[in-house]
Amino acid sequence: MIRIATWLWILVAGLMGYGLYQLKHEVIALENDLSRLNRQIVQEQENIHVLKAEWSYVTQPARLQALAQRFLDLQPMAPRQFARLDALPALPAASLQAVSAGPSQRAGTRTGEVR
């Protein structure tokens, strides 16, 4: 008759074999995930490369200038569009006081007052 210790060692060996089997399949699944992720990374890098090439084409100065001339009605500024500062209208006195006052005085609070 086989001793209890022998049966115990057979049980331990069987459990170790089953655990090793499960671990092997888990590692294979993780390796498959890793290779799938690596393929996705390579694909995204290729997509980024294509987008950078498209961006460099879209932002070419000569192309932008041609599009601006075609679709925008931009004209150079005429000398009559420039004005001197003394030609601008003066601000009303109330506006000058509000501009010269600090931000806390414009808000209606005194300095140091906490609401």
Residue ranges of alpha helices (H) inside 59-112 are 61-71, 93-100, 103-106
Structure confidence at residue 103 (pLDDT): 63
- Euclidean distance between CA atoms 6 and 52, whole angstroms: 68
| 112 against 69, higher pLDDT | 69
Q: State residue 115's pLDDT score.
A: 45
Cβ atoms of 106 and 98 closer than 8 Å: yes
Residue whose tokens read 């932008």: 64
pLDDT at 41 exceeding the cut of 90: yes
Residue 39 has pLDDT above 90, yes or no: yes
Mean pLDDT computed over 33-49: 98
pTM: 0.50
Give the pLDDT of residue 8: 93
